[in-house]
Structure 1
Amino acid sequence: MAVRKRKTKKSWVQYLNQNSLKIILGLVATSSFAIAFGQEKIQQLVTLPAVSNSACLDQFYRDIPPYLTKESLKKNSYPLCFNGFNVMYSGVSKTPLWVAEALTPKRLSQKIPREDSFHEELSIRPEHRATLSDYKASGYDRGHMAPNADMPNKAAQNDSFSLANMVPQAPKNNQQVWRELEEATRAIVTKHKYDVYVVTGPVFATKKLKTIGQGVIVPTAVFKAIYIPKTGAIGAYYAPNDHSLQVKVVSVCYLEEQLGINVFPQLTEEQKRNTYNLPLKANAVKVNKTIAYSHWDAESQCAEDVNADALTAVQKDFKSSSAGSQTASTTETKNTTSSLDSDSQNAVARQLVDALLQYILQTLK
């Protein structure tokens, strides 16, 4: 036994001698990470601006809309508050830049038979407005960003057929890949009984972009970002807007780098680097199986943090906008506070641990 102890002690000494630099770097990295997260990020989460409750703001996680960090995107932009979803519309592309929805089990329990009612959005100036004739014989579908099947009532369904909620979408992408991703997203809500916050929109990733009609720009890809406060699961679907039937799951930071938009300004960079294995089809969602963690994205450039004053200004834009016929009865009411709820606190804690482990492992490589 004595010999065995001396051998063990010697092996530990050898290990420490051989790995001392890595251990020191790991401890330094861990301390730096904890300090940065604890002092800045948690403070940011706790002190996000609180505003009076509005049915329009209910569509955003903690009432905070996505934020346009790229200045050129703000030109001729329209914040539009619809029944059951919100839109940041661009008069330049004549499409939404993003569309936000809060999906809940209660909302999706309402089954509304589909009634097509495609229409132009009259709240947008004529020169910035997409028209029905723009899409006619274009070879592209009028692709919903907030899908009809997500809508809880007739008013919301009618609003979902506004062209302000549409992008020119390749038929195979719209009718197969995108349909399956929309079904998978709803399955997460209905099977797991989770509230899910969704931001959907187009990607314009090349300098030379195709247009249809009188200047409606065709996206190079479409995205759907998802955040589940109950578990902290997060990620984004990214699908080329063509007939390739391709789709991949990326981090929100990857998405933000492509878009010039802070998709979830309520969340920290560490949260948005986490990526989960989002299901590609509804049958991949199992009732008793949570969405698994995939990886931490250390490469992508996340959007810059947005200060509280700027976020408050965007909130006010949506509170004062009135596209469609938004009423307080169209969405579920909630109380807004300046502190994190228990689910969010637990999610942040889990994500901190995940991100910290990833950070340490990368440092020790």
Structure 2
Amino acid sequence: MSALVQAALFAAGAVVGGGVTAAVFTKRQTQRPVIAPTVDGTIVSPAVATVSPPVIGLGANGNAQISSLASATSLSSSAVLKYGNPGPIADPIVRQAYVAAYDRRLRHPAWTAEHLTLASLGKSPLVAPPDATGDRSKSTFMEDDTIPVPFRARLTDYLRSGYDRGHMVPAADAKFSQEAMNETFYLSNMAPQVGEGFNRHYWAYLEDWCRRLTGSFSDVYVFTVPLYLPRRDSDGKWRITHEVIGSPPNVSVPTHFAKVVLTSKPASPSTPNILELAMGAFVLPNAPIPDDTPLEKFVMPVEAVERAAGLALFSDAVKSTSKHICQSTKCEVIVRRFDDARKRPDMRRTISAPN
């Protein structure tokens, strides 16, 4: 399975070599200044808001920082775009527990981003937990009315589709308030996922692993990225084929999903202002995965995910100063049957539900 994913990422434009954990670029591209497009000398800006890639860079103090989510500019009149720029655009989404960009064509997030800490998860011994926390039994799936009607994912799209409404940002990452948890139930935070063996099992284990990273690192940044990867057909050619659910067909079904993490912690107790960074990417097929599959089987270079998704997740400075996450901590999921716990009241006290 890992070899197939690796080949698919290669075909999508990612050069993967020297092992799945090796760096794939010998020469990194430098950041280029943004130059406004012109038509006959007239500056042309998008007619609608455009979303910049979610680049994480290093701040003045060495802290990892997420750059501005959206870059919106006004449009000067031009002969070509007199009546507006048709796009494509991604709708910026800013919630209490996450930020995201919604893909209008695919009807699911292009990416979601979170910043997890012990405090945000209500587990810090130094920060008092909130008086009231989120309860997923009080949350309901809902359409996102901030998305224009023609481009929304609908509740009926998932009805009898055979796929789960898979959280990109888990509800368990937003327990600090009911409102924050409710916001994870917007369909703009969902993508169709295989239920048995994936969303309810291995994917949930991976989400749990991301939360557990806060026990070893002071800051944990998590990107979730739906992917569409090619596969080689019998004629030797590479093609991307994916299902679309809904009637009429409306929401695309990703072939794979990626979790990309960046962690930071003080390099030593004596140098709390000097941070040690670690990063890693995991690409999983949208299919049942046996519980005993090692997590490291799904390790892929971050650059491969970026190229396949058309995103720039991290700056060159972050990449060049980061260890691989599996060198800084154990990349191993814990098998916990969350779905069984929901069915058995006696287990709910000992096993918390994921997304």
TM-score by length of 2: 0.58
Work out the number of aligned pairs and report it: 228
CA drift at 1:276? 2.8
Q: Name the CA distance, whole Å, in 2 between partners of 1:229 and 1:90.
A: 30
Q: Deviations over 1:263-285 (max 9, x none)?
A: 1237444347x5331623148xx
Q: Name the CA distance, whole Å, in 2 between partners of 1:76 and 1:128.
A: 11
Matched, 1:102 2:124: no
Alpha-carbon contact 1:238-1:250 (below 8 Å) kept: yes
Q: Superposition pairs for residues 61-80 of structure 1, below 5 Å?
A: 61-64=64-67, 75-80=88-93
CA drift at 1:256? 1.0
Matched, 1:262 2:312: yes
Q: Which has the higher helix share?
A: 1
Matched, 1:217 2:252: yes
Amino acid at match of 1:113: D
Alpha-carbon contact 2:205-2:334 (below 8 Å) kept: yes
Ranked by relative contact order (alpha carbons within 8 Å, sequence separation 6 or more), the top structure is 1
CA drift at 1:173? 1.1
Alpha-carbon contact 1:95-1:166 (below 8 Å) kept: yes
Amino acid at match of 1:217: S
Task: Describe the shift of the 1:123–1:61 C-alpha distance in structure 2 as closer, same or farther (beyond 3 A).
Answer: farther
Q: Superposition pairs for residues 51-90 of structure 1, below 5 Å?
A: 61-64=64-67, 75-90=88-103
Matched, 1:203 2:205: no
When the two chains are superposed, the root-mean-square deviation of aligned CA atoms in Å is 3.1
Gaps of 5+ in 2: 1-25, 32-55, 72-86, 123-128, 231-239, 266-275, 336-355
Answer with 1 or 2: which has the greater Rg.
1
The aligned residue for residue 182 of structure 1 is 207
Partner of 1:197: helix, strand, or coil? strand
Matched, 1:192 2:205: no
Alpha-carbon contact 1:61-1:266 (below 8 Å) kept: no
Amino acid at match of 1:255: V
Which has the higher mean CA deviation after the structures are superposed, 211-220 or 112-121? 112-121
Q: Deviations over 1:284-313 (max 9, x none)?
A: xxxxxxxxxxxxxxxxxxxxxxxxxxxxxx
Q: Deviations over 1:229-275 (max 9, x none)?
A: 22311101211001134651222112112211111237444347x53
Q: Name the CA distance, whole Å, in 2 between partners of 1:249 and 1:66.
A: 27
Matched, 1:114 2:136: yes
Of 281, 285, 288, 1:240 maps to: 285
The aligned residue for residue 12 of structure 2 is none
Task: Describe the shift of the 1:176–1:47 C-alpha distance in structure 2 as closer, same or farther (beyond 3 A).
Answer: closer
The aligned residue for residue 145 of structure 1 is 168
Partner of 2:119: helix, strand, or coil? helix
Amino acid at match of 1:256: E
Amino acid at match of 1:275: H
Q: Superposition pairs for residues 1-365 of structure 1, below 5 Å?
A: 61-64=64-67, 75-109=88-122, 112-115=134-137, 116-151=139-174, 152-171=176-195, 172-189=197-214, 191-206=215-230, 207-213=240-246, 214-230=249-265, 231-245=276-290, 248-265=298-315, 267-271=317-321, 274-277=323-326, 279-282=331-334
Amino acid at match of 1:219: P
Partner of 1:242: helix, strand, or coil? coil
* Percent identical: 29
Q: Name the CA distance, whole Å, in 2 between partners of 1:61 and 1:170.
A: 33
Q: Name the CA distance, whole Å, in 2 between partners of 1:101 and 1:192.
A: 17
Alpha-carbon contact 2:57-2:64 (below 8 Å) kept: no
